[in-house]
Amino acid sequence: MLSFVGMGNMAQALAAGFIASGKITGEKIIAYAPNQEKLKKNAGRIGFTPAGSCRDAVLKSDVVIMACKPYQIMQVLEDLGDALNGKALVSVAAGWDFAKYAEVLDPSVRFQFVMPNTPAMVGEGVLLFEEKNSLEKAERAEIMELFGTVGLVQELPSHLMGIGGAVTGCGPAFVDLMIEAYADAAVKYGIPRETAYKLVSRMILGSAALQLQTGEHPGILKDKVCSPAGTTIAGVAALEGAGFRNACLQSIDAVMKR
């Protein structure tokens, strides 16, 4: 049995992806959230079982996914008391890594920090697993396989989880800005707004898929589109003049300084 503590957008994406994969049935997923009305609506839509209390959800499960807001976790842990003892805890709350949990959890609790991102909602997420963990080997492999149903699972050492999360967690917002900007350009020259979003998003999706499938350096793929004295290289020059790549680097610098 698997339980969710918290059922926000990310938890909903994970639960829906898990059930859709067929690796776990909805009857084996129980979830708790304070807003019971919303929880029951999501349960009906996704297929999990709603719980009337956090403690009840945890006691009935073997694996607990901590999916509430980071600032809520200490209070949740205090309220749960010994209910987590002997169980496996997978936390998707930003900032709550192995070292932080090690300070507050009972030694009998096995735990793993995972940093997902919003594209997991459509099965295209990146799910960063902190290398340091206390899960049993077979147990961890099973959990990684389950999370793999909603995207790419990548293990990172603890000291790289921060930068990994900055790129994959904040990155979707930066890409959304780019989608909006290029769609604005398309609209400026006459393409209807809805069509513009579709064209730009599909272009980005296709470009990313091409790089992943070929494994080629992005610079090489860029060069293949840039004909001598052509339109694309003119656009590339404009982006370079506006400091596009430097702006990308600075966006991550800003995240890392928070």
Q: In sequence order, what DSSP letters do the residues of the chain get, joined into one string?
A: -EEEE--SHHHHHHHHHHHHHTSS-GGGEEEE-S-HHHHHHHHHHH--EE-SSHHHHHHT-SEEEE-S-GGGHHHHHHHHGGGGTTSEEEE-STT--HHHHHHHS-TT-EEEEEE--GGGGGT-EEEEEES---S-HHHHHHHHHHHGGGEEEEEE-GGGHHHHHIIIIIHHHHHHHHHHHHHHHHHHTT--HHHHHHHHHHHHHHHHHHHHHH---HHHHHHHH--TT-HHHHHHHHHHHTTHHHHHHHHHHHHHT-
Q: Is the pTM of this model over 0.85?
A: yes
- Tell me what the pLDDT averaged over the chain comes to: 96
Torsion from C-alpha of 99, 132, 70, 162, nearest 10 degrees: 100
**What is the structure's pLDDT at 73?**
95
What tens digit of pLDDT does each residue of 156-173 get?
999 999 999 999 999 999
The pLDDT-based confidence of 121 (bands split at 50, 70, 90) is confident
Going from N- to C-terminal start, the domains of the chain cover 2-156, 172-256
**What is the structure's pLDDT at 218?**
98
The dotted CATH code for 172-256 is 1.10.3730.10
Cα separation, 11 vs 64, in Å, equals: 12
DSSP β-ladder status, 49-50 and 2-5: unpaired
DSSP β-ladder status, 29-32 and 2-5: parallel
Q: Report, as an integer, the average pLDDT of 97-108.
A: 96
Q: Report, as an integer, the average pLDDT of 105-132.
A: 95
Whether residue 74 has pLDDT greater than 90: yes
Q: What is the CA radius of gyration of the chain?
A: 21
What tens digit of pLDDT does each residue of 53-72 get?
999 999 999 999 999 999 99
Residues composing the chain: 258
Q: What's the CATH fold of domain 2-156?
A: Rossmann fold (3.40.50)
DSSP β-ladder status, 125-130 and 151-156: parallel
Could you give the C-alpha distances from 97 to 8, 68, 80, 103, 128, in angstroms and in order? 20, 14, 19, 10, 11
Q: Report, as an integer, the average pLDDT of 199-203.
A: 98
Whether residue 255 has pLDDT greater than 90: yes
Residue percentage of the chain with pLDDT more than 70: 100
What tens digit of pLDDT does each residue of 129-143 get?
999 999 999 999 999
Q: In what order do the strands lie in the sheet with 49-50?
A: 49-50, 29-32, 2-5, 63-66, 88-91, 110-115, 125-130, 151-156
Q: Report, as an integer, the average pLDDT of 234-241.
A: 98
Q: Which residue has the higher pLDDT, 128 or 94?
A: 128
What tens digit of pLDDT does each residue of 88-100 get?
999 999 889 999 9
**What is the structure's pLDDT at 80?**
95
**What is the structure's pLDDT at 144?**
97
Please name the amino acid found at residue 109: V
Whether residue 258 has pLDDT greater than 90: no
C-beta pairs of 196-200 under 8 Å, 24+ apart in sequence:
none
What tens digit of pLDDT does each residue of 6-31 get?
999 899 989 998 998 888 999 999 99
